[in-house]
Structure 1
Amino acid sequence: QSMEEVVKKRPIISARERGPGPGRYILPPTVGYINHDFTKSSSPAYSFHSRMSSTMVSVDSSPGPRYYIDAKVTRFGRMETPSYSILGRGRHTGNKGELFQTPGPGAYSPEKAPPLNAHRKPPSYTIGARTRYRSVDAVPAPNSYSLPNLLGCQVPNKLSSASYSFSGRRKVGAPSEDLSMSPGPGKYNSTNPDIYHLRQPSFSMQSRTKRPSFSAASPGPATYSPEKFHVHLPKSPSFSLGIRHSEFVTPLVVDVVD
């Protein structure tokens, strides 16, 4: 058996089949930004510099980390708190050599200044001195006044609370009375509940009309036949069956037709 026959009997493997490459298909590329497929989202594209020569690699052209950047300088600007400078002491206009004497806080009297720029000022009052020619103090003291009593309706123009009067002690029912003479529970009459409640239905039973005798005995329960009385009740259909005849009995022939 030759080698060619062995090769022909092998199964077909799809990996051995030679097909067209990716460049054979006319589809827009998804790499880069030139002629990119507009139906696909594009990623950022970066370009690489060409390889430098061996002479340029050995030459260090960068200045290195010799620059000092303050920590307060950020990419958003300079981040620091506001700073102020204090001006030197001023001098007189006429005499330049003499320093200007600034007045202290006690030199000003802001309370004497009138209200300016629509400033609100609280009211101020002065208390007069005691009258010089005053011999007798005629002003009464607080305990000299007598206020009216507000219990009961004594003052017509004042609001008064309710007032109650108590009567004297009675002899009947007093603690000094003999309690053994008080009435017991059976002394009082009870009120019929039908007077102040909903009246309930009441029935009376009639007495026997006449004295029963042995001759006129009342019928018992077995005397009645309620099963036979079905006029007012629904009744199911009922059927009757005929008599069974023998197949071997000769029928009775009465009329013979010649």
Structure 2
Amino acid sequence: MEEVVKKRPIISARERGPGPGRYNLPPTVGYINHDFTKPSSPAYSLHNRMSSAMVAVDSSPGPRYNIEANVTRFGRMETPSYSMLGRGKRTRIELFQTPGPGAYSPERAPPLNGHQRPPSHTIGARTRYRSVDAVPAPNSYSLPSLLGCQVPNKPSSASYSFSARRRVGAPSEDLSMSPGPGKYNSTNPDIYRQRQPSFSMQSRTKRPDYSSATPGPGMYSPEKYYLHLPKPPSFTLGVRHSEFVTPLVVHVAD
């Protein structure tokens, strides 16, 4: 009688992974397809052997350079040399092209290099005559008054005015009409001085009518209050994890 084997679902965690030979990592030797996560050294190549004809054949020029005697390693050593130009052609018309002394006007030149220059003046044209009626008389001018404070550009003395006579029985005569101390509104000192702390009183709380509303000693938990007392260490137990959970890898070795 054949034995019945119960098939269970395949769990990927129980399956063993492939061996190291299954992975194809990039090489760390050489320059082509080198692993970019690893440092690589510089690569050099060897050139092929050069032909012996370049050594046997003399391709350099010999001592055939023509160096002048006045050229040294410090430069050219020679005395200054001059040359004279030939006489130019002059015609009779060209003799009269030179300006004479009267062609210059040095007085029109502007002052240069801080030279002093006398003042220059010009005379204008004669003004046309006007009729006598067009000239205003001395009494046609009106100067502003110097009394009062109406002239803005002139200094003025202090000005005063007289008030009307007060009626009989005014506060200056009848002291009963003057306001008393309670008529004035005093300013709060907190506005112009340092403000003092202010407190208020709460109303009386209502006491419970029955004794069951008052909490007993068991209602309080002083052991849970650690604001001003030292607190001992506390530990907790975690839950049981499955063996198939992937572990957390934090640091990966190179």
TM-score, normalized by length of structure 2? 0.22
Larger RCO (alpha carbons 8 Å, 6+ apart): 2
TM-score, normalized by length of structure 1? 0.22
Larger radius of gyration: 1
